[in-house]
Structure 1
């Protein structure tokens, strides 16, 4: 398990505990971006580590590779915003503060100011918990797949070399550039996920601050101004490194069981840890992942 300080989840929302749901047309983009993030996390976390043949490994690898890092990062921040919008006190506080006509300008220029708004700390704690749950789940499931890279070796097929490894790598790289395509139920599942509640304390990270600021802009009806908030350098680098390490791992892999290792470590654990790290305030030391399979 990854270390964390998550508190007990709060009760799910009911009719007596309403939460803000964006309805303006300008917020459709926010929901779509959050749905893209949740959709990948849901599908990748659902990879079954009980591999019984090369076809299952190939399909799982396609699932794990199917995200574009920039879209993933933007979706992560949008997902944090959607979670922050579940905090009624924050939504009410932003609505009261909307009399300040310069508020949107200041939030765009300095997203950390969002936590100073009434209910801002509680909204940040919700966003933190929502992202941490997603990242921890993917990293944990990736550990299961990584362990399978060793346990599967008693099956003869796992030791056979991957046919057309160059073609396999090209397909993975192509999948990594394809934008998310919405599927039926994605938005509803995302809404259910962010409504789970729960708060996680600690200093507000840049990604969480951007999410809370984006939520505030949504309440103000100015979501379009949040485009500049959809990336954060430390997280962007982490996600790029995870993807590059996946490519490097696959380029050097031989038999199928090594593909399973690459999948678990670099398509699941690494991006999952990037999400977890995105919930933490930065330190002076940045940990970069590295392709590490040794044959």
Structure 2
């Protein structure tokens, strides 16, 4: 339909343009060798986990404009730079749950020079003893998050078509410019922690599982962050919370959401924008960060 064509052009244009207290449970520690992440690393990882969890819980039973607006509020609630750091931190927290990796880092760090080398060359973390085991756990953790959000996005996308028989969905959004401004404000606000986020983070990474394959750039940096944490240099790890390709992926997704909403008319088109660019595109960034092939979104 014409709207789909407009969205494709918008997406192409974007791509060219961008060419402890009791209330906080202690994380599960599967072995005595486990190490807890630095508090700031935990906060970054929680930003990623909370967005993915909240976004995949978006209710696809849209009953009217208020429900659509709430879905957009949740789907827009991430800052790309914060999410970029969050994926790396999430990989690190997952790797820290792997006793073999933790033991390997401790063994390799006995010379006292490992931390310095990792800060200069974070990719060296993939060569450490136990790195394959830690990477497999981090890969699985990221992949699980991405696939779960993608499944929810597909359901919402389907509803963007089926809801069109309801009269309210065909009404044009009043003051669409103000709606887009609100979405941008929500995006810039980024993650705001709530009680229980830390426990939910550790519950998510403690699910375990492994996914083989070479470590992606995000996972490699996650391993370096985790290794520095094991070595007692978690503060130095904060400089490693960036990865250009993943950052670009998230920025494109967010800009596509803005362009989609700017082109949208009736409410069912807002639902489509939410599904494609507020859910499925960020999910694809997460699965790619796990080393999985890039998923092509079907419009």
Give TM-score scaled by structure 1 length: 0.88
Q: Is the 8 A contact 1:238 1:288 kept in 2?
A: no
Rounded to whole Å, the distance in 2 between the matches of 1:16 and 1:234 is 33
Q: Is the 8 A contact 2:29 2:97 kept in 1?
A: no
Following TM superposition, by how much is the alpha carbon of 1:195 offset from its aligned partner in structure 2, in angstroms?
0.7
Matches within 5 A, 1:100-111: 100-111=111-122
Q: Structure 2: give runs of 5+ residues left out of the alignment.
A: 1-26
- Residue by residue over 1:74-95, the C-alpha shift from the partner in whole angstroms, topping out at 9 and shown as x without a partner, is 0111000000001101111212
Query: Partner of 1:234 in structure 2?
Result: 245
Query: Partner of 1:5 in structure 2?
Result: none
How many residue pairs get matched?
A: 273
Matches within 5 A, 1:162-173: 162-173=173-184
Rounded to whole Å, the distance in 2 between the matches of 1:128 and 1:111 is 17
- Residue by residue over 1:16-67, the C-alpha shift from the partner in whole angstroms, topping out at 9 and shown as x without a partner, is 74562417xxx11011111111111110010011111110000110000000
Following TM superposition, by how much is the alpha carbon of 1:221 offset from its aligned partner in structure 2, in angstroms?
1.1
Rounded to whole Å, the distance in 1 between the matches of 2:243 and 2:114 is 21
Shift in alpha-carbon separation, 1:18–1:247, aligned structure 2, 3 A: same
Rounded to whole Å, the distance in 2 between the matches of 1:94 and 1:16 is 17
Rounded to whole Å, the distance in 2 between the matches of 1:30 and 1:126 is 18
Q: Is the 8 A contact 2:96 2:226 kept in 1?
A: yes
Q: Is the 8 A contact 1:90 1:118 kept in 2?
A: yes
Is 1:113 aligned with 2:124?
yes
Q: Which moved more, 1:248-257 or 1:229-238?
A: 229-238
Q: Which moved more, 1:121-130 or 1:179-188?
A: 179-188
Rounded to whole Å, the distance in 2 between the matches of 1:70 and 1:115 is 24
Rounded to whole Å, the distance in 2 between the matches of 1:96 and 1:281 is 30
Secondary structure of the corresponding residue to residue 254 of structure 1: coil
Is 1:155 aligned with 2:166?
yes
Q: Of the candidates 104, 110, 118, which is equivalent to residue 99 of structure 1?
A: 110
Following TM superposition, by how much is the alpha carbon of 1:278 offset from its aligned partner in structure 2, in angstroms?
1.3
Query: Partner of 1:9 in structure 2?
Result: none
Rounded to whole Å, the distance in 2 between the matches of 1:180 and 1:16 is 29
Q: Of the candidates 60, 64, 89, which is equivalent to residue 49 of structure 1?
A: 60
Query: Partner of 1:272 in structure 2?
Result: 283
Rounded to whole Å, the distance in 2 between the matches of 1:173 and 1:153 is 26
Rounded to whole Å, the distance in 2 between the matches of 1:19 and 1:185 is 25
Query: Partner of 1:36 in structure 2?
Result: 47
Q: Is the 8 A contact 2:118 2:124 kept in 1?
A: yes
Query: Partner of 2:34 in structure 1?
Result: 20
- Give the CA RMSD over aligned residues: 2.0
Following TM superposition, by how much is the alpha carbon of 1:223 offset from its aligned partner in structure 2, in angstroms?
1.4
Secondary structure of the corresponding residue to residue 98 of structure 1: helix
Following TM superposition, by how much is the alpha carbon of 1:265 offset from its aligned partner in structure 2, in angstroms?
0.2
Rounded to whole Å, the distance in 2 between the matches of 1:214 and 1:114 is 9
Secondary structure of the corresponding residue to residue 188 of structure 2: coil
